[in-house]
Amino acid sequence: MKKTVKTEFKPIKGYPGYFAGSNGKIYTHNSKKMKPLVMYIYGYSKFPEVYLCHNNERKKFFVYQLIVKAFAVSKFSNYRIKLIDGNPLNNSPENIIVKKLSHKIKKGEISSDENYYKSSVKDMMFLIKRDRTLCGSNEEWNYIRRNLLRKDYKFRYNWLKIYIRSRR
């Protein structure tokens, strides 16, 4: 016999008619039943997004942000969201940690952009080590490394993956 788990629904603040489910999906209430919204994953991001409408305005949100809005107990004004297992498709409330931003980041001594840059460089270096056999010449790797060291250049995981695969 198959065991069924009941999904708990909580309303999303500021968007009447939309609910966050404990299974990590966003729902809308149509007439008699809850209907899950379609989640999109665009090429520039690895996290699923949904569109919500309110007062004839359509707005795009990351699913994990809406789950935190609905299920969060603590009300931080400045916070960072982290997924425990690192899987961007697992947006259940048990998998999300909400951390308060440090005092230094709030005051502007350390920018959150700088922290993002440091973490994205680690991701890029991992990708380079994993896929280093895809590009043969040292010139291409030097080009990638040079761009990794420039902070003004917004590096994305997908951009590097496409670049590496296009050079085969």
Are 90 and 117 part of one and the same domain? no
Structural domain that includes position 19: 9-101
Region class of 42: left (phi > 0), else alpha (psi between -120 and 50), else beta: beta
Does 106 map to a domain? no
By residue count, the chain amounts to: 168
Secondary structure class of 70 (helix, strand, coil):
helix
pLDDT tens across 85-143, in order? Answer: 888 888 888 888 877 765 554 444 444 444 544 555 555 555 555 555 545 556 666 66
Does 2 map to a domain? no
pLDDT tens across 7-36, in order? Answer: 888 888 888 889 998 888 999 987 788 888
Q: Look at residues 101, 133, 153 and tell me which one is the last residue of a structural domain.
A: 101
Please report which helix (H) or strand (E) contains residue 163, including its range: helix 157-166
Name every residue whose Cβ is closer than 8 Å to that of residue 137 and which is 6 or more positions away in sequence.
none
Does 4 map to a domain? no
Does 32 map to a domain? yes
Q: Is the pTM of this model over 0.85?
A: no
Structure tokens at 137: 């010449």
